[in-house]
Structure 1
Amino acid sequence: MGKTVLSTSDISMRWPDHRVELPPIQVNAGEVLGIMGPSGSGKSTLLRWLVGEQQQFVRTVGSIFVDGVSVQGVPVEQRKIGILFQDVLLFPHLNVFDNLRFGLPAAQRQLSIAEQTERIMEQLRAIQMSKYAQAAVSSLSGGQRARIGLLRALLNKPRVMLLDEPFAALDARLRCRIREWTYGQLAEQQVATIVVSHDPDDIPANANKLYWPEARDA
């Protein structure tokens, strides 16, 4: 069993008319936790809270630890938690290379342009997309956008990755291949991963699973 990377405790989510109390969460390096439950129950809201975004319509409290260190009050960009949504949020005014350059950690952005370029091109070659470095993101297919979105997130060296319906926009032909590639990348880099999906096939067979608890009266 790998080292515990993400752990939570005492998470309570309170809406005006109901509340949900979650059991403790623990995800080790290279492991995947699948969260399953009905639409609108708060799964995506939980992911946003973990990354540091408090939604106005629900009050969420609890403790979050990354590598044993509390990230309560820590800014989003310093939590070492990445998130990838169904709609990959690439910057439309930047080409593929500049989108990836944006994902570099602050320390690597201090390197020379030549060094940054070599790091990014090495990663693009690894996913067989080096010829798209100067391409507009609007010209990419759904599968290409998914790969660039994950690659940009991984360039920032997250310890935790949150996946919110990440494969839903892909057609059936691409979905299986991109899903396998994504989990392969995360396992190789020993990233602790939480995935939310309505499709059970999007959650690896060997993943741990958390079934969303029933709501209680507020």
Structure 2
Amino acid sequence: MPERMKSGLELHDVHISLGERELVAIDVKIPPGEVLTLMGPSGSGKSSLLSYICGTLSETFSVTGRVVLDGMPLDGVPPQDRHVGILFQDDLLFPHLSVGGNLAFALSSKVRGRANRRARVEAALVSAEMEGFYDRDPATLSGGQRARVALMRVLLSEPCALLLDEPFSKLDSGLRSQIRSFVFDLCRKNSLPTLMVTHDPEDAEAAAGRVIALD
């Protein structure tokens, strides 16, 4: 299979409605490495847009428009084949797996061999400044460490785009700034077109990209 060209995430005239009420109307292109912020109050359709991009939006919503990722339309593509990663406000780590097990879960089956898979995970832990945490129980981690593991797990799945769904809202103010920088730096380093939804103006300011407000 040829390598995908990195042209970014494109939302072509996307309109999402619930009944007679239009929630989202957006037409935008997010190039590789940019973090675009979508701001709006609860119920404004932010999370619905992310679900649509992921391919998991309920059929109770009506949608027009299309999503294109690296030149490939995503219409009709199963969620697991879209190469879209998403990071939620809850870290959703598996409590029955070690830190290393949580990260290895995201690796493609194409990464073969126990030693090779372990090496990939160890390298991710080094990137997250968590060297030596492979065998740790997730329950023993701090909030910031859990957030880092959650992000590295998403990145190990090798997404072509990243969605951020209020990922910093449950962190205390001091930790929030640190984890924001960590996330945004990795988005740019990995040339990921990134769409963040938030209601926090400080998130948007830290992202240092374009901001779109939903009414």
- Normalising by structure 2, report the TM-score: 0.92
Aligned to 1:27: 30
Separation in structure 1 between the aligned mates of residue 177 and residue 26 of structure 2, nearest angstrom: 31
Over 3 Å counting, the alpha-carbon distance change for 1:15 and 1:124 in structure 2 is same
Over 3 Å counting, the alpha-carbon distance change for 1:172 and 1:20 in structure 2 is closer
Separation in structure 1 between the aligned mates of residue 109 and residue 140 of structure 2, nearest angstrom: 28
* Residues 99-151 of structure 1: per-residue CA shift (max 9 Å, x gap): 1001112311xx11001111111111222212221112122111111100000
1:56, CA displacement in angstroms?
4.7
Aligned to 2:148: 147
Separation in structure 1 between the aligned mates of residue 142 and residue 188 of structure 2, nearest angstrom: 25
Amino acid across the alignment from 2:89: Q
Aligned to 1:116: 117
Unaligned runs of 5+ in 1: none
Kindly report the root-mean-square deviation, in angstroms, between the aligned alpha carbons of the 2 structures. 1.5
Separation in structure 2 between the aligned mates of residue 102 and residue 60 of structure 1, nearest angstrom: 32
Over 3 Å counting, the alpha-carbon distance change for 1:18 and 1:151 in structure 2 is same
Which of 71, 80, 83 pairs up with 2:83?
80
1:150-169 matches, cutoff 5 A: 150-169=151-170
Is the aligned partner of 1:101 residue 2:108?
no
1:1-218 matches, cutoff 5 A: 4-108=7-111, 111-203=112-204, 204=206, 206-212=208-214, 214=215
Q: Which moves more between the two structures, 182-191 or 203-212?
A: 203-212
**How many residue pairs align between the two structures?**
209
Separation in structure 2 between the aligned mates of residue 132 and residue 125 of structure 1, nearest angstrom: 9
1:84, CA displacement in angstroms?
0.5
Q: What secondary structure does 1:179 align onto? A: helix
1:192, CA displacement in angstroms?
0.5
- Normalising by structure 1, report the TM-score: 0.90
Q: Show structure 1 runs of 4+ deviating over 3 A.
A: none
Separation in structure 2 between the aligned mates of residue 125 and residue 107 of structure 1, nearest angstrom: 22
Among all aligned residue pairs of Structure 1 and Structure 2, give the percentage whose two residues are the same amino acid.
Answer: 38
- Alpha-carbon contact 2:128-2:149 (below 8 Å) kept: no
- Alpha-carbon contact 2:24-2:49 (below 8 Å) kept: no
Amino acid across the alignment from 1:83: I
Q: What secondary structure does 1:64 align onto? A: strand
Separation in structure 1 between the aligned mates of residue 48 and residue 140 of structure 2, nearest angstrom: 31
Separation in structure 2 between the aligned mates of residue 175 and residue 93 of structure 1, nearest angstrom: 27
Q: What secondary structure does 1:24 align onto? A: strand
